[in-house]
Amino acid sequence: MLTTDYEDGAPNWVDLGTPDIGAAARFYAGLFGWDFRAGGEEAGGYGMFHLGGKTVAGGAAVPADQGPAAWQVYFRTADADATAAAVLRAGGRVMAEPMDIRDSGRLAVFADPEGVGFGVWQPGRNEGLGAVTEVGSLCWTELYTGDIDAAAEFYHAVLGWQIGGVPFDGGTYTTVRPAGTTEEAAIGGLVPLATDPVEDAERPYWTPYFEVTDCDATAAGAEEAGGKVRMTPISLEGVGRMAKLADPFGARFAVIASVPPPPPGQAA
């Protein structure tokens, strides 16, 4: 479960790169109620999405010739430079060298051996997102990959993740969690591309999940606003109802109306 008591290896930031940040902001405002506040010149056009006064994502305009629209997930690290060295040792690439973002923190961007982009955030004044797991905020992450074992080995070497598994009818869902934590602290999953009929086997990627109150209404709203329903809503027993979507520019993400956790002291 994601919390804002960020452990090393847990997702603590997510942002959107899109060719039209204004139009994208209007789409997400309608979908999640987000308010986008653009940064000044010193921020290079980078801005923040807010909900209820809390930061829930970042975003910036990225020219189409620099890459497709996409969401990117960042994970907490205590030392971005050491993480960059670990990425290289494990066969990944450093796409953006560690850099200070004023006194807010230190950022770096990488690609894993399959070419999937991800980042790390070493907190300074800014610990990360102001809200997670709440409605309208990041609540889960998934890596769609061509090789579960290789991905698990890479991210363990880089972020120290422990690997777990949740059985379901027909297989086991691979979960990941920060080092030294229990399964209840899982922050994401690893999913084989070949088993997912809506995914392109040539396009491994990280996808963020955002919590919603009504998955079906959110999916319908995304389509009405010019987005795409990549996978129609489905219910997963004990988990919730989820759908895979894309915004009008093709950035992929997912939404879920999670099953509420049991009250303290009551078994699930």
Q: What is the pLDDT of residues 124-142, one digit of tens each?
A: 999 999 999 999 999 999 9
Q: Is the pLDDT of residue 62 over 80?
A: yes
Q: Mean pLDDT, to the nearest integer, of 204-220?
A: 97
pLDDT average, residue stretch 184-198 = 92
Closest by CA position to 188, among listed 11, 16, 14, 58 = 11
**26-54 pLDDT, tens per residue?**
999 999 999 999 876 666 779 999 999 99
Tokens found for residue 176: 């990941």
* Cα–chain center distance at 124: 21
**Arch. (CATH architecture) of 1-268:** Roll (3.10)
Is 266's pLDDT higher than 60?
no
Distance, CA of 168 to CA of 170 (rounded, Å): 6
Segment 238-257, tens digit of pLDDT: 899 999 999 999 999 999 99
Q: How far apart are CA 216 and CA 173, in angstroms?
A: 24
Q: What is the DSSP string of 228-252?
A: EEEEEEEEETTTEEEEEEE-TT--E
Confidence bin at 264 (pLDDT 50/70/90): low
At residue 260, the pLDDT reads 83
Judge contact between 123 and 6, C-beta under 8 A: yes
Residue entry with tokens 């955030």: 121
Per-residue pLDDT for 148 more than 60?
A: yes
The DSSP bridge partners found for residue 118 are: 110
**Rg of the Cα atoms in the chain:** 18
Q: At what angle do helices 215-224 and 21-32 cross, to 10 degrees?
A: 150
The tens digit of pLDDT for each residue in 153-179 reads 999 999 999 999 998 877 899 999 999
Distance CA 109, CA 83 (A): 10
- At residue 208, the pLDDT reads 98
